[in-house]
A = this chain, B = another copy of it.
Amino acid sequence: MTPYAAPVRDVRFVLEEMLEHGSLALPGFEEASPDLVEAVLEEAARLAGEVWAPLNASGDRQGCRLHDGQVRVPDGFIEAYRAYAEGGWNGIGVSESLGGQGLPEVVASAVQEMLHGANMALGLCPMLTAGAIEALAHHGSEAQQAIYLPKLVEGTWTGTMNLTEPQAGSDLSKVRTRAVPCPDEEGDHYRLFGQKIYITWGEHDAAENIIHLVLARKPDAPEGNKGISLFLVPKFLVNADGSLGERNDVTCASIEHKLGIHGSPTCTLSFGEGAGAIGYRVGEEGRGLNHMFTMMNEARHKVGIQGIGVAERACQHAFAYALDRVQGRSPRSGHSDCTISDHLDVRRMLLSMRARTDALRALALFCAAQLDQARHAADEGERAAAQARVDVLIPVVKSFSTDQAVEIASLGIQVHGGMGFIEETGAAQLLRDARIAPIYEGTNGIQALDLAGRKLQRDGGAALEGLIGEVEATAQALEAQGELADLGKSLAGGAADLRAAMAAVLEAGADPEQGADAVQAYATPFLSLAGHVLCAWQMGEAALKASAAMAAGSDDPFYRAKQQSADYAIRQWLPVGRAQRAVIEAGMASLAAFDASAH
């Protein structure tokens, strides 16, 4: 596998030139200077490239092993995780009051991309811990926070999310795991009984303890969502002095044999095979799903980031191969024995991979910057406006980045020709790994429903309309620049398509005859259109910044490359997305009438 070089320059272009380090100007980030951010990125790149990336292929080959209920992760993973935790990386996005470094989300997101690009399977471990930290920080009692947060933030312990059960996947209202309150004299805890599946890093040997956050219901709880509460179930019980006590009654029954992310143990956990797993309720009774969704929104952003990390690695892999592999004659120079990067059809694949990865990254970091605004802006109105954008952007970042990552990884295989199909090359692993991201943390179909259904319908499209206005402003700025005028025109067309499609989806949603049903039929095409337009918008911004830098005298080839990337994204990629307007406007009558059993 080609060595991985974290894309520091590309990330800095987005943070410094596109976002102009806006997050650093927010209250609470006074100590985070551009220099500090640069140093953090450089150091993260070193960890990712030198420590995590070399274990990606070996971890895939070796996978995880379950023996006597104990999971062993691949060789080297424990040390690589420790290097990460000891370097303080687990807390970089966590606020200082909780023991973290309190850096902005844009910076934390950039670092996450590097780690996932280096080793997605290992990256999942801290990703899940971050969810547990978030849940406890928002909903845990003071005592719970005091006991569990410091260890989770420093990464000595890791966290998990226990949601899915065999009958409860996308529909969590069907959760059956029982949490039985203990008699008063025994304490304030519960005993949990049930089985959870697909638990990422649910059991492993890389940390001293594992803190499971578990959805379960009390025996007398009502059916449906309102009966579900959130519980904390440690692998090892924690004594009053913070030391580890007894092993809790939670065991790993099996680990899954998966298409990819072999280095990440996906566990079936059994709670209460004996006297019951001791658990503590987190937050309010009956509000477990709500509490879980607090953190799930951010977890979805992180999954989008994960897709981008893998896409970046696929790019690097494909570029390195194409620049090295000699085959055929260049049709331009007539040169025989050119590298395949000389063939325009190969260039098309490379540029398509690069342009999309650039665009997805810019959009995801824009969304992260809005998260920073939503949390830290001094003005309440600004915070609310940023949050409204975040709400619209997160399903797009999650779905669109991950769907595209699968396509980019698949194109990466194609660039390699026959070599791409051979596992040793490493390109195939990236497709295998990427393929989970459109599924977990809410399938991409669920994301599309969240966007076209909940998010769009509840504010009548106001937040997205605001973003479309910004797309149009960028289009106008491009049109005002001689050589970028064509891009501006295309982008304006994309904005118009998105507005028209939004109107159609809102109209369908408002129609009591069709309602939720029609919205569901249009949801995925609509999300795809939104993703293409918003990504093209970001690349329009990138083109403007690159153009300004060159006009100011820079001859850094980076800017020219970024302009080519923008050119491809807007001319060759956006039109494919714009076609989704026609898909939506053609109507979806065939879906309502569709009878799967007749096909």
Contacts and interface: CB of A to CB of B under 8 A. Distances in A.
Interface of A: 164, 167, 169-171, 174, 197-198, 256-260, 315, 319, 322-323, 326-329, 331-332, 341, 343-351, 354, 406, 410, 413-414, 417-418, 420-424, 428, 431-432, 435-436, 438-440, 443-445, 448-449, 490, 515-517, 520-521, 523-525, 557-558, 560-561, 564-565, 567-568, 571-572, 575-576, 578-580, 582-583, 586-599
B171 A327 contact: yes
A256 B425 CA distance: 11
Contacts of A568: 590
A590 B347 CA distance: 10
A583 B572 contact: yes
A475 to B, nearest CB: 16
B423 A439 contact: no
A348 B260 contact: no
Contacts of A423: 257-259
A349 B521 CA distance: 10
A421 B591 contact: no
Given A258-B421, A345-B521, 19 more contacts: A169-B327, A169-B418, A256-B422, A257-B424, A260-B421, A319-B599, A323-B596, A323-B597, A344-B588, A351-B591, A414-B444, A420-B439, A421-B436, A567-B589, A567-B590, A571-B583, A575-B583, A576-B580, A578-B579
B517 A596 contact: no
A353 to B, nearest CB: 9
7 contacts: A258-B428, A259-B423, A341-B597, A345-B521, A350-B596, A560-B598, A564-B590
A575 B571 contact: no
A440 to B, nearest CB: 7
Contact of A596 (B347, B410, B421, B587): B347
Given A328-B171, A432-B259, A438 B418 contact: no
A393 to B, nearest CB: 20
Given A520-B331, A571-B587, A599 B350 contact: yes
Contacts of A344: 517, 520-521, 588, 591-592
Contact of A421 (B354, B439, B525, B587): B439
B413 A435 contact: yes
B515 A331 contact: yes
Nearest to A349: B445
A561 B599 contact: yes
A160 to B, nearest CB: 15
B449 A596 contact: no
B170 A328 contact: yes
B351 A422 contact: no
Contact of A418 (B319, B341, B440): B440
B164 A418 contact: yes
A596 B414 contact: no
Per CB-CB distance, the 7 closest pairs between chain A and chain B, nearest first, are A579-B579, A575-B582, A571-B586, A259-B428, A341-B596, A344-B520, A331-B516
- Residue with the highest number of chain B CB atoms closer than 10 Å, among A170, A319, A341, A599: A599
Nearest to A327: B171
A292 B126 CA distance: 54
A332 B524 contact: no
Contacts of A594: 347, 350-351, 564
Nearest to A322: B596
Contact of A443 (B417, B428, B579, B595): B417
Best-surrounded residue of A197, A341, A406, A590 (most CB of chain B within 10 A): A590
Contacts of A420: 439
A558 B597 CA distance: 10
Contacts of A319: 596, 599
Contacts of A516: 331
A520 B345 contact: yes
Which of A171, A346, A515, A565 lies at the interface centre, i.e. has the most chain B CB atoms within 10 A of its CB?
A171
Given A164-B418, A521-B345, A565 B599 contact: yes
A429 to B, nearest CB: 9
A509 to B, nearest CB: 11
A264 to B, nearest CB: 11
Nearest to A413: B435
Given A345-B523, A449-B345, A524-B348, A593 B579 contact: no
A598 B524 contact: no
Nearest to A573: B583
A536 to B, nearest CB: 12
A565 B332 CA distance: 44
Contacts of A198: 418
